[in-house]
Structure 1
């Protein structure tokens, strides 16, 4: 394991009367791709939203790149170098694909070379460049959402279930994009249920249950230990295919 880029220490999150995160300890190594697994309702999405400041931690500390970001606003967290792709595939529906990416380029005009690099994985973006994003299919909207997050280099990319409901061909494009991102300075924290996807890409893995991290280690070790999969998730990870 390399030096962590992100550390959550004893993080609790309350949403109204509900105590969702109950002392999360999570370490994301710098570089590569970390996977967050767990049953539905375990707290995975809440963890990502708490890191991003969309929901505030009621207790505990979140440290990013050596800096305490626990109390920062979401815009300040984004400026620190974290991008978030929610499961909802959030895009500006009435804006074109080009305009969606333009708004995400906080530091100036779109970098043409980087746009070409992104469109190499998602050719549909160029095809629908001047179409309203709201008219696209679910898979195409997911492409736009991911493209928005990486249109500028980021230190950390948080991605919530990117393959959910996508056609196999689009999933393959996502795999290629994440592989290339792993070779850059971007670290990825991925919540995902498609085990074939994470088994190929994941370097480290953490498993959540009832608002806590109950296991952390190498993806290779979990992928080759059926008994551990059964104990942590209640079923073999291969059944997530």
Structure 2
């Protein structure tokens, strides 16, 4: 196996008096879509925020493309090629869809071919291009948040629960968009609670519990093993179709 693009080695994170991550280790391969699953409070969001330097690892090491980024500042991590879409999305509701995306392209105007590709992933954004982002539905705001993250080419995309609270039709649209990102060769680490979406998208899967990785492997193997689903997640795929 080649060296992972992203590698966490025995990472621990404290937030104030709370010890959240307890020696988290895993790798994300270039070109893969890796699912990070687990119950609420397992440490998934903390893992993404620690990778981005928003919360500091208190022990362990984080390597990106062979470089140690454990102590790097968040802007430097972003400049290295990692984009983060938080669960809160963080869009500017008073700005138009166009202005939100223009602001995300820090290196200058977006290449027209890349813009067409992005709007092909999320056609609703084209329809609301010159309207305030606050007018969008929840699912459309999520699409805008992801589009902003890929306004410029990125080496790695971190996304926190993109289907949370979405209607089934929007979940299906989001699945199709991530399938297109996979086909384009993007590398994604995706936190998800919707097991149906996870099973449709994941190449690899990591499962967290109590701040630890308790399982890693191929997503297809987890989908095929309902007893493993029940043991690790307390669910089965059949219940979420």
Q: Tell me how far 1:100 sits from its aligned partner.
A: 0.6
Q: Is the 1:121–1:173 Cα contact (8 Å) retained in structure 2?
A: no
Aligned to 1:196: 196
The correspondence of residues 1-241 of structure 1 with structure 2, limited to 5 A, is 2-241=2-241
**SS of equivalent to 1:4:** coil
Structure 1 unmatched runs, 5+: none
Q: Is the 1:229–1:235 Cα contact (8 Å) retained in structure 2?
A: yes
**SS of equivalent to 2:5:** strand
Q: Tell me how far 1:234 sits from its aligned partner.
A: 2.4
Taking structure 1 as the reference length, the TM-score comes to 0.95
Structure 2: how far apart are the matches of 1:38 and 1:194?
10
Q: Is the 2:121–2:180 Cα contact (8 Å) retained in structure 1?
A: no
Call closer, same or farther: CA 1:122–1:15 in 2, change over 3 Å: same
Q: Deviation per CA, 1:61-95, whole angstroms, max 9, x where unpaired?
A: 00111111111111110110100111112101221
Structure 2: how far apart are the matches of 1:224 and 1:69?
36
**SS of equivalent to 1:13:** strand
Structure 2 unmatched runs, 5+: none
**SS of equivalent to 1:144:** helix
Taking structure 2 as the reference length, the TM-score comes to 0.95
